[in-house]
Amino acid sequence: MNIKILNQSILDFDGDLIIVNLFEGVKIPGGATGAVDKALHGVITEMIKNEEITGKLGETIVFPTFGKIKPGKVMVVGLGRSDKFGIEEIRKASGSAAMAAKKAKAKKVGTILHGAGIGGIEPEIASQALAEGTILALYEFNVYKKTENKRIEEFFVVETDKSKIEKIKKGIYTGSILAESQNIARDFTNEPANNLTPEKFEKKVKEIIKDLGLAEKIKITVMDKKEIERLKMGALLAVAQGSDNEPRFIVLRYENSKGPLISLIGKTVTFDSGGISLKPSEGMGAMKGDMTGGGVVFATTVALARADVKINLLTIIPAVENMPSGSASRPGDIVRAMNGKTIEIISTDAEGRLTLADAICYAEKEGAETIVDIATLTGGCAVAFGDVTAAVMGNDQALIDQLLMISKDTGERMWQLPLFEEYEEKMKSDVADIKNSGGRLAAPITAGIFIKYFVEKAKWIHIDIASKEFSEKDRFYQPKGATGFGVRTLFEFCTKLKL
């Protein structure tokens, strides 16, 4: 969606619906909402008095104007409490309003800029959040299903203050890039596994880069099974060997700086049956989303390139399918990673970390000084944090602090877990350098310990997003389905990275 800007009064907007706002607890609206209220002879004030409007965050109410002003309908969206108001609240309010406008079948919509007035948020930041919330909320995945067209055709930010227009344009531009990129990641996760094998993942990546005109900015190298074997990536190959769909090791280079090389690595298991350590059949269909990390790092790379961010970036997508068969790896097998370290396979369902091990070895071989991996890695993360919070671990506290601070603004919640040396005992093997599973206790941490074992020199962060890849219901700017969790945080992290 292309969000446009109009320098005029919201009362003069010629469209189906206008969106104004209200903080919780306000009895008499001011600003643009007050102007609309006055033009409608106090109807909003009356609704507040009757408790039909409370201003609760994300609350929406739509009512007709009966020709008293140009727009056919008015929506009031709640901003929540003013003392808790921030960037994420703008996203949530904007997303809720966009979903409600779509439900109301509005085709041409105008909105005031939430938070840039009494909310005290800078216009550029507020407009970026508004664009993100709106575009993310209106996302649909209808590739395989015919649906009624309820799409909003035109969307405008209406601002009376001419001095704010350029800042608003800049914010909307950045916010649109981020939301559109996150929607790319959502598309990958929503895609069924039969149409997103490692080979088809490669094809989709190439098509998107070409369609967005980024072929000159993002250079792509893809290694097939033979090349992966030549590189001696025995850990990755162990995961892939049970599937008829051969692996792909996808490498993207975006070089827009002479600075230190940063590497983003995303777990990309296009379908995870668990292998010989077969998962229960109930809910297995959701394992099409086990490639979410790869979709997220690809989408982040696209966003960085579109925004022309100055960075020297190496993005790695180790794409495999984990299936049970006569050729599949077994519990008890020992495999050798690219750097020569041996791994005893305790569970073939602890497969993602094997692919990440070889990807990290490759990143360091290419000279990466900072590595961030993101993965739907452990059921333990889902148990501990549910579908809200990602687990963060790493070997550099300053870097972790940067990431956690950024995540507060992006609204993608993250929490640090420890990598205490006592946990290393759980990963010791009697027959190999390390084993791939330490059991159920502290599973997210022992998985982090395993990945850390393959980091030699680089500063490194691991983000476990298990159960964050899908949302079971609509909420604010997140429609039911794939989330694309992590794109905006990784973008801001790479943009603001202090090395």
150 catalytically annotated: no
Residues 6+ apart with CB under 8 A from 462: 372, 373, 374, 375, 392, 393, 394, 448, 451, 452
The three-state secondary structure class of 218 is strand
| C-alpha count within 13 angstroms, C-beta hemisphere, residue 431 | 9
Amino acid code (one letter) for 444: P
Residues 6+ apart with CB under 8 A from 247: 198, 224, 225, 228, 236, 237, 239, 240, 318, 319, 320, 321
Structure tokens at 144: 């395989």
Q: What are phi and psi of 114, to 5 degrees?
A: -65, 130
Of 220, 213, 306, 309, the residue nearest 262 (C-alpha): 309
Residues 6+ apart with CB under 8 A from 312: 255, 256, 257, 258, 259, 260, 261, 262
Residues 6+ apart with CB under 8 A from 214: 302, 305, 306
- Which secondary-structure segment (H or E) carries 165? helix 165-190
Q: How far apart are CA 352 and CA 349, in angstroms?
A: 8
One of 167, 267, 306, 353 is an active-site residue; which one?
353
One of 279, 336, 341, 426 is an active-site residue; which one?
279
Determine the angle formed by the axes of helices 397-410 and 87-103, rounding to 10 degrees: 40
Helices (H), 256-367: 292-306, 352-365
Q: How far apart are CA 22 and CA 112, in angstroms?
A: 11
Under 8 Å between Cβ of 29 and 182: no
353 catalytically annotated: yes
| Catalytic positions | 279, 353
